[in-house]
Amino acid sequence: MSPYKGKSVLVTGASAGLGEEFALQLAKLGATHLVLTARRADRLEDLGGRLMSDYPDLRVETISTDLSDASVVTGIIEELNSRQFFPDILINNAGFGDLGTFETSDPATVETMLNLNVVALTRLTRWALPRMLENKKGWICNVGSTAGLIPLPTFAVYAATKAYVNSFSEAIRIELHGSGVHVTALCPGPVETEFGQVASRENSKRKFAPPAFLCVPKADVVRQTLQAMARDQGRIIPGILVRIPMLLAESTPRWFLRFFFNRMSGDFRKERAKAS
């Protein structure tokens, strides 16, 4: 029997990509109440309609909102409290990246990324956790990234936010050991989602285009993650071709990583020299 049968779920960033796939697969596995949040109302409503059509007994609520705004996060928490909705499963998926050197980044974009990738995730976890502890059961999946396993030039802020997510998840997992509440950090590599389009800056030659053989289908990422959550696995890096090199990179001495990136990532230095 699916451990997710009859459970209530909150999924952030649910209008596309991994968030949409989590909603689809959890519904198939027997979840009975989904609350889905994202910025794009039309996509959320379409997803909600499809889910309720396929699963007539499933209750789906959609909240179109921007979690990078602190006041909005406060409002959502107050609204969910008023509805007496406390999820058995929290999927903190909302987030985005920004590809390019830090010196050329847009300060507003950086602040938005920090608010969404770090602050909103932390606040929602803090809100959901007490009721899970009271019930002595719950699942929290925080979507980190393999980018958070190592310092990543031209993804400096994004990688740092995901390093926070990875570390935060590991730490609270230890705090919650034996409580019945399970925490899993999902650390995907390249996935077939809209991430690259969003991360790539307009009018920039630098585009996020990883080799196709490293890209893992989003359905496989979510399926492996839900299996890992059911086994109370602390971290999942989907895809063997991603997992092995990233585990090796994570254990590589920092001095060697600096040496490697200094030799392999010189294009932005050339751009800086040309601009000056």
Cβ contacts of 148 within 8 Å, gap of 6 or more: 159, 160, 161, 162, 163, 164, 165, 166, 187
Does residue 94 contact residue 19 with C-beta atoms inside 8 Å? yes
CA-CA distance, 245 to 174, in Å (whole number)? 26
The H or E element containing residue 32 is none
The 8-class DSSP code of residue 128 comes to H
Long-range contacts of 166-175 (CB under 8 A, 24+ apart): 166/235, 168/121, 168/122, 168/125, 168/142, 169/140, 169/142, 169/144, 169/234, 169/235, 170/234, 170/235, 172/125, 172/129, 172/140, 173/234
Rounded Cα distance between 182 and 164, Å, is 18
Verify whether residue 4 is a known catalytic residue.
Answer: no
Question: Among 4, 55, 158, 164, which one carries the catalytic annotation?
Answer: 158
Which residues are catalytically annotated? 158
